[in-house]
Structure 1
Amino acid sequence: MAQSNSSSRVGVHYKVGSKIGEGSFGIIFEGINLLNNQQVAIKFEPRKCEAPQLRDEYRSYRILNDVPGVPKAYFFGQEGVHNILVIDLLGPSLEDLFDWCGRRFSVKTVVQVAKQMIQRVQGIHEHNMIYRDVKPDNFLIGKPDTPEANQVYVTKSHIPYREKKALSGTARYMSINTHLGREQSRRDDLESLGHVFMYFLRGSLPWQGLKAPTNKQKYERIGMKKQSTPVNELCQGFPIQFAQYLTYVRNLRFDEEPDYDYLVGLMDKALQSIDATEDGHFDWMDLNGGRGWDAALNKKANLHGYGNPHPPQQRRKANNTNVTNISKRPSGQDKLAAGLPNNSSQQRLTKSQSLNHPNYNSITDEHSRKAYRQTNQHGHNHPVAGDGHSETSSFEERRKNQSWLRRNCCCF
């Protein structure tokens, strides 16, 4: 594998520095562009690996070169026995920040992050691409001490931060349609985002921790639990806009263009509902006595989402403690304002009650009214009248969807 030393260079003017990450597919190093002293990330993968991906990753980044929040790719080449990719050096992933914040984000932080994540996925979709691997590990913030320090970036997960997490990590957030074996489209990326938002708010999702003899059976159990968990139960205790978001995206047709502005607007309304403002302050900025996530850590070891403040065993123990004792931790002001989820059952509203509910009269746009009615009239989220999941899974339907994908989309 690649070695790091003072004389190592790739692509003529990129100097290889210290290793900052390693996964089952390769290694990532910190590096320097010798022409302008810009810090970069340099990825190595064996040319003869079973499924080389760096070339495709480079092409994806080049296609998305003008999309805000997508890292810039500067070089791809082959040297010796390796494929090499040079891209922007970024900060930690949202999953890392979530861990360091005690595995719970405030409503304010989730809303501010959610708006950026929706816009990143929209940028990918507008270039006729589908992401298909939405999870917190793939969204990173910018490098510390830069104007982009709290900008959210979307990346490829070629070199995973945590190995042996492929099934649980991906299955945790994927859409119900994906579990059902249906072709993925823009709606599925957005549904996965909704699951990530609730993961951040709740600290965990109802389908986490399910046991099964095989991975296939576990995958099926996760899908069944998602289908049987009502949206209003999943989002209970948080601003209603999160339930409206999930209801809207789950009702999109396969090839329907999402109304991204509407979804971003829902997040704005969620922020208003807790009397907060979008001021660019995030929970991780309060860590270490208000000095930020990186104050007490080795910055080099925590760039590009590959940093680990604890040894693996200590980290797992800390994570387990946070999950099991999360209700004992004091909540932040935003959480108190929004209300934490509780175990009491939420009564379903009849159509008459829903239309006369005080919240309903304050909803003025058509999307929100429809989502509000569906969220409160149905104790389940599949399939209901107009629900995207009620469409046929016949051979003809699958062929039609595949044809649409070939004409309109490729994968990031």
Structure 2
Amino acid sequence: MPPKAKAPGKARGPAKRKLAEEFPPGEVLTDTAKKSWKLGSPIGQGGFGLIYLANENSANVVDAEARYVIKVEPSDNGPLFSELKFYMRAAKPDLIQSWMKSRKMKYLGVPKYWGSGLHERGGKKYRFMVMDRFGTDLQKKFEECGKRFPRKVVLQLGLRLLDILEYIHEHEYVHADIKASNLLLSHEDPHQVYLVDYGLAYRYCPEGVLKEYKEDPKRCHDGTIEFTSIDAHKGVAPCRRSDLEILAYCMVQWLCGRLPWEDKLQDPVYVRDAKLRSQADIPGFMSECFPSQDKPGEMEKFLEKIKLLGYTDNPEYDALRSILQAGLKSAGAKDDGKLVFAAPANGANGDGKLRAAKRKKPLEKEERSEEVEGSPVKKRRVPKKKAPKATKVVTVSVDMSTQTSPDVAQVKKPRTRIKKTTG
């Protein structure tokens, strides 16, 4: 009977979220600190409600250059309330600033919490939260780049995320849902990336007391299925090693384009078992992900390091950074703070670095087809190279058809080669 009593409530949840009305530009909200904020136009929508451009309240109109956004949802909904717990405990500007100063960091990719409160309109109550404004997400970038990021960018993203995870772990939380769509570029600086959406954030160490390992079948497979940790697949509450494991899966996907279990995401048990196999044989997993290209050795070491972590262990963040920094060095790159998401193309090596082609004059069609890493060959050798390998007349005739004179093709029919292949 109790489950039946709860079912109608769950069914009404989505309906309540649909009741979130759109506020007109200029609506003023007052947070719990009595600070007023003015809304601009809505720029997004989620399960919780709407996201608006916003600024501190003034006589000015909130335009497209607004510095902040405000998330608004009906007060009866839950997602924003859960996220607020993290922001109020761990994302206050002074906390973030103090952390950055103590570690001499230029920036930390954790969104700042600027305020929150309740707002009433038309007899209905709404919950809101004020945050920094951001730009595009990395999932869009990933798709624009043909679902591959250059190795340098992936390693830089890994370093930035280690900074973020160390910070939130230090403040008693784990994120539990790291993925490209939850990574947003700064609105002001496209070379800065921020980890957002703390709806699944879990307080793994409340008041300094670590949660114990406990499997719960009701919680199996929480998170985003292709990236979530083995702990989550077993129904165990997320921990610090869970975040690092998720990060590793993301980095491997960004490098190779696709994880081995992505063809059966509708079967969470299959995905779980595939991840267990990958952990048992990390070199084999890397070979499966990178069958036709050089395997990034740093990722294998990164995965091996995470594999050694216990459920309550405090990760060695500096050691993990060193692994990724060594990867940058082996790729002939350095962490210069610049995120260049250009997709690998002709002229790009495995690390995403382009070799400029020095062309003094336009190339003929055949010469263009022979370019290797952006550098043109000196002579046209396609017909001469391919002719010795040809074993059929039809192959040679196709090659010869590129010549300007049809008579040449007839004269050079390799009848002597046919004798060799039959002898």
Shorter-normalised TM-score: what interval? 0.5 to 0.7
What residue is the counterpart of 1:232 in the other structure?
Answer: 283
Moved more, 118-127 or 181-190: 181-190
Cα distance change of structure 1 residues 26 and 61 upon mapping to structure 2, 3 Å threshold = farther
What residue is the counterpart of 1:9 in the other structure?
Answer: 28
Paired residue type of 2:272:
G
Alignment partner of 1:56 is 2:75: no
Q: What secondary structure is seen at the aligned counterpart in 2 of 1:171?
A: coil
Return the offset for 1:4: 4.1
Return the offset for 1:336: 7.2
What residue is the counterpart of 1:21 in the other structure?
Answer: 44
Cα distance change of structure 1 residues 336 and 121 upon mapping to structure 2, 3 Å threshold = closer
Q: Is the 8 A contact 1:61 1:71 kept in 2?
A: no
> Which one has more relative contact order, counting CA pairs under 8 Å at least 6 apart?
1
Alignment equivalent of 2:263, drawn from 183, 206, 209: 209
Moved more, 33-42 or 115-124: 33-42
Query: What count of residue pairs does the alignment treat as equivalent?
Result: 282
Alignment partner of 1:76 is 2:92: no
Return the offset for 1:206: 0.7
In 1, the alpha carbon distance for the partners of 2:183 and 2:283 equals 26
Paired residue type of 2:314:
E
Q: What secondary structure is seen at the aligned counterpart in 2 of 1:53?
A: helix
Cα distance change of structure 1 residues 184 and 225 upon mapping to structure 2, 3 Å threshold = same
Alignment partner of 1:241 is 2:298: yes
Cα distance change of structure 1 residues 330 and 180 upon mapping to structure 2, 3 Å threshold = farther
Return the offset for 1:140: 1.6
Normalising by the residue count of structure 2, what TM-score does the alignment of the two structures yield? 0.61
In 1, the alpha carbon distance for the partners of 2:348 and 2:180 equals 22
Paired residue type of 2:134:
L
Alignment equivalent of 2:236, drawn from 172, 182, 186: 182
What residue is the counterpart of 1:30 in the other structure?
Answer: 53
* Unmatched 5+ stretches in structure 2: 1-19, 100-107, 201-220, 288-293, 354-423
Paired residue type of 1:74:
W
Q: What secondary structure is seen at the aligned counterpart in 2 of 1:172?
A: coil
Pairwise CA RMSD? 2.8
What residue is the counterpart of 2:348 in the other structure?
Answer: 332
Q: Is the 8 A contact 1:54 1:85 kept in 2?
A: no
Paired residue type of 1:187:
R
In 2, the alpha carbon distance for the partners of 1:104 and 1:62 equals 31
Paired residue type of 2:242:
D
Q: Is the 8 A contact 1:25 1:158 kept in 2?
A: no
What residue is the counterpart of 1:107 in the other structure?
Answer: 151
Q: What secondary structure is seen at the aligned counterpart in 2 of 1:102?
A: coil
Q: Is the 8 A contact 1:54 1:83 kept in 2?
A: no
What residue is the counterpart of 1:40 in the other structure?
Answer: 68
Return the offset for 1:277: 2.1
Q: What secondary structure is seen at the aligned counterpart in 1 of 2:142?
A: helix
Alignment partner of 1:118 is 2:162: yes
Q: 1:6-405 maps to which residues of 2 (within 5 A)?
A: 6-11=25-30, 13-34=36-57, 39-49=67-77, 52-62=81-91, 65-66=95-96, 67=99, 68-80=108-120, 81-143=125-187, 146=188, 148-158=189-199, 170-210=224-264, 212=266, 218-229=267-278, 230-236=281-287, 237-284=294-341, 286=342, 330=346, 332-335=348-351
* Unmatched 5+ stretches in structure 1: 160-166, 213-217, 288-325, 338-412
What residue is the counterpart of 1:386 in the other structure?
Answer: none
Q: Is the 8 A contact 1:45 1:54 kept in 2?
A: no
Paired residue type of 2:73:
E
Q: What secondary structure is seen at the aligned counterpart in 1 of 2:311?
A: coil
In 2, the alpha carbon distance for the partners of 1:281 and 1:234 equals 30
Return the offset for 1:156: 2.0
Normalising by the residue count of structure 1, what TM-score does the alignment of the two structures yield? 0.62
Deviation track 1:109-160 (CA, whole Å, cap 9, x = no partner) reads 10111100111001111112222222222222211xx3x431121222549x
Cα distance change of structure 1 residues 61 and 243 upon mapping to structure 2, 3 Å threshold = same
In 2, the alpha carbon distance for the partners of 1:274 and 1:23 equals 40
Please list every run of at least 4 consecutive aligned residues from structure 1 whose deviation after the TM superposition is greater than 4 angstroms. 35-38
Return the offset for 1:75: 1.4
Q: Is the 8 A contact 2:26 2:38 kept in 1?
A: yes
Q: What secondary structure is seen at the aligned counterpart in 2 of 1:173?
A: coil
In 2, the alpha carbon distance for the partners of 1:76 and 1:114 equals 31
Deviation track 1:258-280 (CA, whole Å, cap 9, x = no partner) reads 11001011111101111122223
